[in-house]
Structure 1
């Protein structure tokens, strides 16, 4: 059943802080926020005054301050530029600090989040002939980490409102070759880990959490990345904690974490023994220095993002047609790498998502559709199915079944029609006035949806 249409007056009453200050024409005050008079609220796309001037919302990113710069300079002058030069260098120090920060026993730093995931797959002994169930709605690094060990990434459909792995679909795809589940905490908000862990226990499977977007986020009393057997983080430049590239594996099983260290250290253990197969995935000391330089403010920036995200979720909760990302019971906080919303065009008189995004952008607020297409529709699938190695490792019947299993309608609809988001690492550090601007830009387009359809 469709939600009852919402008036701008009812929607905006109670929003704190001034916004729409640059709008032309008569103004009126509702609650404590100044808003456009309805009659003067012509869409900027159609020649009206925008809610705000175009430009980024939030501080410049990645985060830089004098303390961070001093940490990098200190590392430069030390001439200790590789972690193997010193047991107490910036990378080993970062590993201890990051493990404590998210509440796990151990951490092994890597050169990227993809490398962290790849390290986990290899350390768990997953390889040719094995299968790992994961999400199609993610970065290619998730899939690449499985392919690197020549295992088969089995993608299953996602929940249309949370954009996370659907546990019911996961269980349907388990077979005798399945070794692990790799849930992706998309946008830094928890997947349905209670159900995923129950399925893993039932079938004797390992769980590798792709928490690459999920720094400090918590679920049912635990940090994301600490719930499964292993968890992985990314510190790529756009992430809430960033060093350009960089990644980390975390876990509580010391023996397994030592194996992760050996794998990412080209197969060489902490004792210096060359023991196994492994690439060279070591984080360098400069990346460690950039990360260590951010520690004084990491928790505070996390707090501000959550405060602003909760503010937006509250203000948007009753808006027909644009619904914030669903959170599962037990979700305590999010990293909010992106702030995701589901667009329902029927509440906007049938306006396509692209037209809605164009109209909001004209108001000075940039939203996007995030991933262009689910990974189940990308050419890498035909590539691996044509490789002699995969044809040897998997039966022709299994590969045919695998190809036929790429019908994932929820993921298709999310990527093609309904996903609307904005990048959160920097944007959600802005003041409440900018949060009000986001709300008002969206609401202005909603109020003028008839004009939008008539004059696209």
Structure 2
């Protein structure tokens, strides 16, 4: 593992450009307005009627370097499609990280499969390949590799483990637009890649998601699954169904909006990079504030979040909550991030539901808990601090403000 960096381009300076406020998100202008008005006036608002969704899919496929892209309603829908086309169901186990947004696990629960947690590497907060290998059983049917915060962990090791056991890997790249592993965009390294375009994401459609793959057969199944079981039909076969599915379609309005937003994504990514590089340098002066690492082959970090570790012992025992309050008083809105998912009550409630009790029998939660404790995640989650992507879009006064806040905290 190594400190986060972006080796595809040299360090950049963008101080001469406009300096948006950290809260001025989303960024839009007449481009977005014109794209939405065009769809409105066309009267073709749903997928299949117009061309905006198909145009976005073609552009996003090209961006990610994958031949097949399917736009869906949101990032959770993308995960549901991925698990659905892989045939995940009751009795199956899906390995997931315990440090992620709940949607990763909720998608597994929707199929009445068992989410199995592989604990994190404390330096990166990404899923630890050693823990992945330990959690594989004959019932393991998929591994979901989350590119947490827009960084990429040890994807190569996870892919090798999956190949050894003939298990498909789903890349949950909801936070990782433009991230790269070995100089290639994430999403296309596993069997299926999943993206989110929810309002907080680096590519913002309000809602929206995408599935990408190199597998034409999986792409065809994905289309049918998201289209209420209807594949790409010919006249006279519109109501022919070959698999179960749901309505997870994207609207033409969202397709048009996302295409317009894509015109900004590279420039915004470079601004986040510039601020992240400066923050890296700033934090070298503060013992007890350590940036999270990335995988050996992570050649581009999307910086949806800049994650660092706060060590209270290095600051006289003052707790993270005190640090966050102090920085907020300086006008710097930082976050404590996710709680340890393995300790959240939704899992116990799910496993004690009628469906899970019918499929697995009583006592499931107690048995599951013994194998899914994840002590590293529990401890590390108490130390993580997030800097959001909107903060990283700030202008040249942001790093000096961070420095003033940190100096005041250290005293």
Q: TM-score, structure 2 length as denominator?
A: 0.91
Distance in 2, matches of 1:174 and 1:348, equals 40
| 1:409 matched residue in structure 2 | 375
Please point out which of 352, 359, 364 is paired with 1:393: 359
- 1:367-417 superposed Cα distances (whole Å, 9 cap, x missing partner): 11011x2111111212222123222323557654212223212211232x2
Aligned to 2:211, the other structure's residue is in SS state strand
Mapping 1:176-215, distance limit 5 Å: 176-215=138-177
Distance in 2, matches of 1:327 and 1:295, equals 25
- 1:349-369 superposed Cα distances (whole Å, 9 cap, x missing partner): 111111111122222212110
Structure 1 vs Structure 2 CA RMSD: 1.8
CA contact (8 A) 1:132 1:181 kept: yes
C-alpha distance 64-168 of structure 1, shift in aligned 2 (>3 A): same
- 1:147-184 superposed Cα distances (whole Å, 9 cap, x missing partner): 11121111121111211111111111111110010011
- Distance apart, 1:219 and its partner CA: 1.3
Aligned to 2:187, the other structure's residue is in SS state coil
Mapping 1:197-276, distance limit 5 Å: 197-271=159-233, 272=238, 273-276=240-243
Aligned to 1:58, the other structure's residue is in SS state coil
C-alpha distance 57-343 of structure 1, shift in aligned 2 (>3 A): farther
CA contact (8 A) 1:113 1:234 kept: yes
1:60 aligns with 2:45: no
Please point out which of 292, 311, 334 is paired with 1:344: 311
Aligned length in residues: 390
Distance in 2, matches of 1:445 and 1:294, equals 38
Aligned to 1:85, the other structure's residue is in SS state coil
Distance in 2, matches of 1:230 and 1:318, equals 41
- 1:312-369 superposed Cα distances (whole Å, 9 cap, x missing partner): 1122134200111111112112121111110011111111111111122222212110
1:159 aligns with 2:129: no
Distance in 1, matches of 2:348 and 2:386, equals 30
Mapping 1:260-339, distance limit 5 Å: 260-271=222-233, 272=238, 273-339=240-306
Please point out which of 151, 159, 171 is paired with 2:133: 171
CA contact (8 A) 1:57 1:434 kept: no
Please point out which of 77, 82, 106 is paired with 1:120: 82
Please point out which of 24, 49, 72 is paired with 1:85: 49
Q: TM-score, structure 1 length as denominator?
A: 0.82
Aligned to 1:242, the other structure's residue is in SS state coil
Distance in 1, matches of 2:400 and 2:243, equals 55
- 1:4-24 superposed Cα distances (whole Å, 9 cap, x missing partner): xxxxxxxxxxxx999xxxxxx
| 1:419 matched residue in structure 2 | 384
- Distance apart, 1:216 and its partner CA: 0.7
| 2:343 matched residue in structure 1 | 377
Aligned to 2:306, the other structure's residue is in SS state strand
Q: Which runs of 5+ in 1 are unaligned?
A: 1-15, 19-55, 449-456
Q: Which has the larger radius of gyration?
A: 1
Aligned to 1:98, the other structure's residue is in SS state helix
Distance in 1, matches of 2:28 and 2:56, equals 17
- Distance apart, 1:189 and its partner CA: 0.6
Distance in 1, matches of 2:183 and 2:119, equals 27
